[in-house]
Amino acid sequence: MITEDNKKLAQWAMDFALKNGCQAAKVILYANSNTSFELRDAKMDRLQQASECGLGLNLYVDGRYGNYSTNRLNKAELEKFIKNGIESTRYLATDEFRVLPDPERYYKGGKPDLKLFDDRISGISPDDKVAIARAAAEEALGKDSRIISVESSYSDGENASYRLISNGFEGESKSTWYSVSTSVAIKGEGEARPSDYWYGSSLFYDALPKTGIGAKALERVLRKLGQKKVQSGKYTMVVDPMNSGRMLNPVLSALYGSSLQQKNSFLIDKLEQKVVSDKLTLIDDPHVVGATGSRYFDGEGVATKRCPIFENGVLKTYFFDTYNAKKMGVAPTISGPSRLVLTPGDKDLNGLIADVSKGILVTGLNGGNSNSNTGDFSYGIEGFLIENGKLTQPVNEMNVTGNFLTLWSSLAAIGNDAHKDRSWLIPSLVFEGVDFSGL
């Protein structure tokens, strides 16, 4: 919770910085709190509670730029901290590209409340919170003789920030979150003890799924029994909505000005070109009321807007913040997406699987990485073999390897099952002709 005193402190820090050598500055004051209750076999294992508050400053001094942050918020220490920061920044080389955004681009207020904050956050009793975690555990405990351990948890928190920019931006944002999860470990073959989990989360307590979490975690681990690796080869890859966002993440990283300016991207000079399958349409949709990830302004105070990123496979935008735009001599955009929506298809995961004759459903990624210059990737996986539209064999200890441009060009089908509580709404995805290595 940002208090009036917090705001006054941020304003004081801004004034102090400007009076002591900064020509411009950004100040952000944050205040976060959270509680969590973790249960093991429905008995209390850990309780944790915390709240924290800190101040971050971007200082623009004589054409130079430095970042400073501290959670020591008494004025005497802050004065010394800011003065030291100004002094340190003066040692740096000048950087003509470090300027504040054009104030015309700032969010100026006036839009409806995004409703990301639940006033109930401080009113829920610890007993009720523990009861939710216990109920999740009890859905699994004793339901199968092979169960070794059931861990469940309830956690919640609030995040708030207050931002000032010296050329005319003031913005405040706050949100709450609630989460319940369960992880179940069972005795598998030999010494193996496979585990899996499920969770529910929401911005609002009343919308938090409070049942079904433990049962789903148990179902997810039981279906893994008998995992083995299958023959290496090309398969149709189906990625479930728990993991589909991981296939998109490196593609988005390649669109940032910081990557492009450093020639560290596999999507340089591709704007308005068709680079992937025409089935891919991806929108940044930041103004949906009550939706995780929604926001009216980005980290620079710049107003967000609905904007296509890929439209039928054509790249429609990069993400140029003020600094990289100026450095590259292009017009700035938003500094990064807020809430991503991949335009869904009309089938759920089962419907997609039914259309696959020889494939692998990926339900978990294990390690792996990608090359930011080439787009080449390789990840460990677990999941299921698909034969003639049916899951016939749990698989594990395999790798999937390829290139993100080739992969996204082979996008064949899209599900309608994105997880609604996330800021990235990426449904199940189907890709053709993907290399898996196993036996």
Q: How far is the CB of 375 from another protein (least distance, A)?
A: 10
CB count, 10 Å around CB of 63?
15
Q: How far is the CB of 223 from another protein (least distance, A)?
A: 13
Q: How far is the CB of 50 from another protein (least distance, A)?
A: 5
Nearest CB to another protein, comparing residues 57 and 341: 57
- In terms of DSSP H, where are the helices of 20-98? 75-89
What would the two tokens of residue 95 be? 């950087």
**DSSP 8-state class, residue 99:** -
Q: How far is the CB of 309 from another protein (least distance, A)?
A: 23
3-state helix, strand, coil in the chain (%, to 5): 20, 40, 40
Nearest CB to another protein, comparing residues 93 and 331: 93
Nearest CB to another protein, comparing residues 54 and 209: 54
Between the alpha carbon of residue 349 and those of residues 65, 132, 239, 355, 362, the distances in Å are 49, 29, 9, 10, 11
Nearest CB to another protein, comparing residues 6 and 304: 6
Q: How far is the CB of 72 from another protein (least distance, A)?
A: 5
Dihedral over Cα of 230, 236, 241, 247: its sign:
positive
Nearest CB to another protein, comparing residues 184 and 430: 184
- Give the separation between CA 307 and CA 318, rounded to whole angstroms: 11
How close are the terminal C-alpha atoms of the chain, in Å?
Answer: 55
Q: How far is the CB of 27 from another protein (least distance, A)?
A: 15
Q: What DSSP line would sit under 257-303, residue for residue?
A: HHHHHTT--S-TT-TTSB-S-TT--EEE-TT-TT-TT--SB-TTSBB
- Give the separation between CA 41 and CA 18, rounded to whole angstroms: 56
Nearest CB to another protein, comparing residues 3 and 373: 373
Q: How far is the CB of 305 from another protein (least distance, A)?
A: 29
Nearest CB to another protein, comparing residues 188 and 351: 188
Nearest CB to another protein, comparing residues 386 and 398: 398
Phi and psi at residue 259, to the nearest 5°: -75, -45
Nearest CB to another protein, comparing residues 67 and 350: 67
Q: How far is the CB of 111 from another protein (least distance, A)?
A: 32
What would the two tokens of residue 286 be? 């930041």
Q: Which residue has the tokens 């290595």?
A: 437
What would the two tokens of residue 116 be? 């990301």
Instruction: Characterize 93-126 residue by residue with b for buried, 16 or more Cβ atoms within 10 angstroms of its Cβ, and e for exposed.
Output: eeeeebebbeeebbbeeeeeebebbbeebeebee
Q: How far is the CB of 380 from another protein (least distance, A)?
A: 4
